[in-house]
Amino acid sequence: MIELAFSILSADFAHLADEIATATRGGGTIIHVDVMDGHFVPNITFGPPVVKAIRPVTKLPLDCHLMIEDPDKFIPAFAEAGADMVSVHVEACRHLNRTLQLIADHGMAAGVVLNPATPVEMVAEVLPMVHHVLVMSVNPGFGGQKFLPRAVDRIAHLARLRSELGWNYRIEVDGGISRETVGSVVRAGADMLVAGSAIFQSGKTEANAVEFLRLARSAGERLA
Ligand code: DX5
Ligand code: ZN
């Protein structure tokens, strides 16, 4: 199933509950929470207290993308705050298998993230144990960046491995996903589509989400 994971990084933080409600009315089914620490990426955003604050205002799953050093230290706090999915960067984890197991042990769906310059082979050994693989289609740190088209081949590679090896992970893509780029990533095999600026722009959040999903699903149907 193709799903829109809207990134609240581009929402109006002063009205987060309303922004979430509007994007949900537009068809968004996952809330993507971009957690940045100013070390792993050159920007700071939010952490477990914000996850805890939005937990009671929505029934949608909270997908926390940790762009932080030493994620193990914070995984229990995200679980406690109400996160449903947690993704960690392979580049930030010295003991990736242990970190993914820790996420699962806390009752959350574990995902692994690849920066644009990281070969897909770096996650080969953990593919059987992850709920999703997140392919970055920008260098992480900021919303509103330009899509890096090499992501399409990387998604196709992961989709091929999934069917050849019989694994079940979902393929998430994040960065510069818009009406223009969404078709290419869906055709390559992505099914969790992160979008921030494409959704929360021009004061037309609901309509943006509806149109985004229409384009994504029509690209998906042409595949079937
Ligand atoms: C970038 C974040 C993305 C970002 C996407 O580091 O991981 O989730 O919010 O924003 P857009 O959709 O504007 O590229
Ligand atoms: Zn993200």
pLDDT tens digits along 138-187: 999 999 999 999 999 999 999 999 999 999 999 999 999 999 999 999 99
Q: How far is the CA of 108 from the centre of ligand 1 (A)?
A: 22
Q: What is the pLDDT of residue 3?
A: 98
Enumerate the H helices of the chain as residue ranges.
Answer: 16-25, 48-54, 75-81, 96-105, 151-165, 182-188, 205-223
Would you say the CB of residue 7 lies under 6 angstroms from ligand 1? yes
Exactly one of 37, 63, 84, 174 is catalytic; name it. Answer: 174
* Residue 179 CB-density burial (10 A; 0-12 exposed, 13-18 middle, 19+ buried): middle
Would you say the CB of residue 37 lies under 6 angstroms from ligand 1? no
Residues (pLDDT < 70) of the chain are 224
- Number of folded domains in the chain? 1
Could you tell me the residue range of the domain that residue 18 belongs to?
Answer: 3-221
Residue 224, SS3? Answer: coil
Using CA atoms, how far apart are residues 158 and 122, in angstroms rounded to an integer?
A: 12
Six token digits for residue 149: 């088209």
Assign residue 136 the CATH number of its domain.
3.20.20.70
Q: What is the pLDDT of residue 223?
A: 77
Would you say the CB of residue 140 lies under 6 angstroms from ligand 1? yes
Would you say the CB of residue 145 lies under 6 angstroms from ligand 1? yes
CA-nearest of 27, 4, 87, 18 to 58 is 18
Q: What is the pLDDT of residue 222?
A: 78
- Cα of 113 vs its chain's centroid, Å: 9
Q: How far is the CA of 177 from the centre of ligand 1 (A)?
A: 8
Please give the radius of gyration of the chain, using alpha carbons only, rounded to the nearest integer: 16
Report the nearest atom of ligand 1 relative to the CA of 9: 9
Using CA atoms, how far apart are residues 39 and 99, in angstroms rounded to an integer?
A: 19
Residue 120, SS3? Answer: helix
- Give the number of C-alpha atoms closer than 13 A to the C-alpha of residue 20, restricted to the C-beta side: 22
Answer whether 102's CB lies under 8 Å from 141's CB.
Answer: no
**Angle, alpha carbons 182-177-46 (nearest 5°):** 145
Q: What is the pLDDT of residue 187?
A: 98
Phi, psi at 46, each rounded to 5°? -135, 170
Identity of the residue numbered 213: L
Q: What is the pTM of this model?
A: 0.98
Q: How far is the CA of 129 from the centre of ligand 2 (A)?
A: 21
Using CA atoms, how far apart are residues 191 and 214, in angstroms rounded to an integer?
A: 14
